[in-house]
Structure formats: structure tokens, C-alpha cells
């Protein structure tokens, strides 16, 4: 794993790269595994929120084989679409398929989706469920879209200002992005900000161009990822 950082990223950002997505997933899994193990040692439990999409699938497979005390890990999602848990677009389905098996089968998983008709109607119940996890999270694993969105914090969303407000005491925000399908529930910026370790997991040169654009614009309303770059996180990237 290499740690040479691209010139446009702020000093608050750590940058780690590997030759391919499989090696990157292995490196990131080891890094996060050490954090979770230390959290369990210090306070008896650990907590983690993960993102969906195709990028983390190799990482989820690595997690499932990780030799830690998964029964003492609380797991939830950074965001999810308001679809049935068996829908192919569900992040819950992704996590259940690739992560919650093998050694990780005993993890305490708290999904975001419930039986409410809309994400907005379901937000309160999902918030109550998340109160079973001791915050701040030990680990938050983010992804990023080509428009600079992360979690379900989209630049096109009418709810963005509320989602990014660091005085918002809610854990979650319901969003309805104009450029992506489905209503969604997402962690708020404050919950992500307050987390002990925030990772941004990326593959492909186009994602570096997105990061560079975010640093050029310096405007979270145009590219929400900028806020988290400025605050500081660790980027794990492969070509």
C-alpha cells in the first residue's frame, strides 16, 4: 500500500493506493479490522456504517472472512434507497449478500429501511433503531459519485442544506434526489463528521478527477464531498 498524496488534496486528507481493487480491499479490510478490534478491546463493542454500490463488494467479501469478534460489532448503512430489502437496488441486500456471512454472520446489523410507506415517514423509526448503537461510529465507509455526492447527500437534492447543517441533531435525513431514482435515508453530515474514522473508498481515475473538481469548486452545494475532504478523512484508491 502506498501513501503518496495527489497535490490538490488538503493536508487533512490521508491518501492510500494499491495496484488493483482486490489489493486495495485487502489493505482497507486490515486497517478497519484493527480499528474495530481496538474499539472492542477498549469499550466492549465497535460500530461501523458502510455504503453500497459495486465498489465495496470485494471489501465486504474480505470483511466476511475477517477474524474478529463480530458479535460485538454493530453494523448499519450510511444510506439506503427506500425499496424492499429484496430489491436488487437495496444496499441492505448488498450487505446481507456479501458481508453478513462466514465469520461476520454474527454481526449485529441494523438496517435503515422499515415498513413505512415513504422514507420521510420511516425516518423516526429508523432513528430509534440507530439509538441502539453507541455513537460516534468507530468507522464510517463512504463512496462517491461522479457528481461529488456521498452517502445520499446529492447536490440536486432540496434537502441538502438541512442534511449538511452541523446543528441538525438528527441522525438521519430523508432525501429525494432529482438525478437518481428512489427516496432515500442517509446519515446526516454531522453524524459522519463526528465519527472517529472516516474512509472514502474509490476505484478508477475518473474518481480522482471528481476529487480535483471538488477542490477547485470548494462549494459543498455543488459537490457535497468537499465538506468531508475539508474536514479530513482517509482515501483508499486503486486504478
Domain limits for position 75: 14-238
* Mean local confidence (pLDDT), 137-162: 97
Domain count, the chain: 1
Residues 30, 59: contact at Cβ < 8 Å? no
Is residue 7 scored above 90 in pLDDT?
no
Query: For position 14, what pLDDT does the model report?
Result: 94
Q: What is the pLDDT of residues 65-118, one digit of tens each?
A: 999 999 999 999 999 999 999 999 999 999 999 999 999 999 999 999 999 999
Rounded Cα gap, residues 176 and 79, in angstroms: 12
Position 134 pLDDT exceeds 80: yes
Average pLDDT, the chain: 96
Query: 7 in a domain, yes or no?
Result: no
What is the tens place of the pLDDT at every residue in 38-67? 999 999 999 999 999 999 999 999 999 999
What pLDDT is stored for residue 6 in this prediction?
A: 75
Q: Tell me the C-alpha distance between 155 and 159, whole Å.
A: 9
Identify the CATH number of the domain in which residue 228 sits.
3.40.50.1360
Other residues' Cβ atoms within 10 Å of the Cβ of residue 170: 16
Cα 171 to chain centroid, rounded: 14
Amino acid at each position: 500500500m502506498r501513501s503518496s498524496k495527489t497535490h490538490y488534496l488538503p493536508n487533512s486528507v490521508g491518501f492510500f493506493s494499491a495496484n488493483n481493487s482486490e489489493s486495495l480491499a485487502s489493505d482497507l479490510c486490515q486497517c478497519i479490522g484493527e480499528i474495530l478490534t481496538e474499539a472492542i478491546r477498549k469499550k466492549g463493542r465497535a460500530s461501523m456504517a458502510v455504503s453500497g454500490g459495486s465498489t465495496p463488494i470485494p471489501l465486504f467479501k474480505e470483511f466476511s472472512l475477517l477474524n474478529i469478534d463480530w458479535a460485538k460489532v454493530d453494523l448499519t448503512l450510511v444510506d439506503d434507497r427506500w425499496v424492499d430489502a429484496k430489491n436488487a437496488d437495496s444496499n441492505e441486500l448488498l450487505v446481507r449478500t456479501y458481508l453478513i456471512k462466514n465469520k461476520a454472520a454474527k454481526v449485529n446489523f441494523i438496517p435503515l429501511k422499515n415498513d413505512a410507506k415513504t422514507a420521510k415517514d420511516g425516518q423516526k423509526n429508523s432513528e430509534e433503531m440507530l439509538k441502539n448503537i453507541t455513537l460516534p461510529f468507530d468507522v464510517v465507509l463512504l463512496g462517491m459519485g461522479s457528481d461529488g455526492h456521498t452517502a445520499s447527500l446529492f447536490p440536486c437534492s432540496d434537502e441538502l442544506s438541512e442534511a449538511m447543517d452541523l446543528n441538525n441533531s438528527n441522525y438521519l435525513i430523508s432525501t429525494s434526489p432529482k438525478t437518481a431514482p428512489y427516496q432515500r435515508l442517509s446519515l446526516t453530515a454531522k453524524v459522519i463528521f463526528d465519527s472517529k474514522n472516516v474512509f472514502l473508498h474509490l476505484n478508477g481515475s475518473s474518481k480522482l478527477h471528481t476529487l480535483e473538481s471538488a477542490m477547485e469548486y470548494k462549494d459543498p452545494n455543488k459537490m457535497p464531498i468537499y465538506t468531508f475532504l475539508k474536514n479530513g478523512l482517509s482515501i483508499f484508491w486503486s486504478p
